[in-house]
């Protein structure tokens, strides 16, 4: 008898005894005891039932060859960005949420604090890393896209099968004892080329399988809007001197470029007017 049945039986006995003390008939007490036993079994079964399984992570359907890539933007206070960036990096390197590798990481300080990290992780690690990155902030933007590698996988498998078959045939031909030295040299050279091609095909197949089994995740950390505007205002003030100097330099360059032609033009105008006056005097 299981634990649930024992509990139901004891509960039935207790209710039966209470029924007799309350003046119930033996038949009514037995019926109440049977109902109580069934209720006890139902309660025990629901209490022992396991919790519902979590929702499945985004993964390629069976029989497909999809490589998923995720991009997300996280807004945080500027002072918290380095700590969150380091937390995501450490969680990936420690494989806390499954197989994971850091592909690229950058960090920016004042006046525009921010950072970006790109990882390749197991499907279950995408949501976990995003949750870790967004603690204390918000996920402002997120996008997901998938590349279908079915044709690439098929081409790689076809190339690998063709090279393996050719390699096997050449090995059988090499075992013959009536081959000339020149034929053996040619055969050995061809076998080396096939083995090199097989190595490349196997590497391509492994890379394609890794892109299918894992997912690329890029998280961009940005400072919240008020800090961003404050940083832009401070940057504008800090650039005031450079802007003023640049404007003065532009004016100097403009004057230096315009002044010589202007002087030459005035001189030519003065000569022309003098010649015109002299001509009028002679004509008068």
- 238-282, pLDDT tens digit by residue? 667 777 787 878 887 878 787 788 888 888 888 888 888 777 777
Query: pLDDT: is 98 or 9 the higher one?
Result: 98
**Average pLDDT score over residue span 143-152:** 94
Task: Decide if 24 contacts 32 (C-beta within 8 A).
Answer: yes
Run of H or E including 63: none
The mean predicted confidence, pLDDT, of the chain is 78
Rounded to 5°, the CA angle 66-97-73 comes to: 70
The pLDDT-based confidence of 237 (bands split at 50, 70, 90) is: low
pTM over the 0.75 mark: no
Tokens in use for 107? 């960090």
Nearest to 81 by CA among 250, 224, 225: 224
């Amino acid at each position: 008898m299981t634990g649930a049945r024992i509990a139901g039986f004891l509960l039935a006995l207790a209710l039966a005894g209470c029924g007799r003390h309350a003046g119930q008939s033996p038949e009514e007490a037995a019926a109440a005891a049977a109902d109580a036993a069934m209720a006890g079994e139902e309660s025990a079964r629901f209490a022992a039932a396991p919790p519902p399984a979590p929702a499945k992570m985004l993964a390629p359907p069976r029989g497909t060859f999809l490589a998923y890539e995720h991009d997300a933007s996280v807004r945080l206070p500027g002072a918290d960005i380095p700590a969150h960036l380091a937390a995501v990096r450490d969680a990936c390197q420690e494989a806390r949420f499954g197989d994971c590798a850091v592909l690229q990481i950058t960090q920016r300080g004042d006046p525009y604090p921010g950072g970006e990290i790109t990882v390749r992780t197991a499907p279950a690690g995408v949501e976990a890393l995003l949750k870790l990155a967004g603690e204390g902030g918000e996920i402002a933007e997120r996008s997901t896209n998938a590349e279908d590698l079915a044709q690439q996988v098929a081409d790689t498998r076809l190339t690998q099968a063709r090279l393996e078959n050719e390699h096997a045939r050449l090995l059988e031909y090499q075992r013959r004892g009536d081959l000339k030295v020149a034929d053996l040299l040619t055969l050995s050279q061809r076998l080396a080329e096939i083995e090199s091609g097989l190595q490349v095909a196997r590497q391509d197949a492994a890379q394609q399988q890794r892109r299918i089994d894992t997912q690329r995740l890029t998280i961009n950390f940005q400072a919240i809007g008020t800090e961003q505007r404050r940083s832009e205002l401070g940057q504008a003030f800090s650039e005031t001197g450079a802007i003023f100097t640049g404007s003065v330099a532009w004016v100097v360059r403009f004057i230096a470029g315009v002044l010589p032609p202007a002087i030459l033009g005035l001189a030519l105008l003065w000569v022309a007017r003098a010649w015109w006056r002299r001509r009028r005097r002679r004509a008068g």
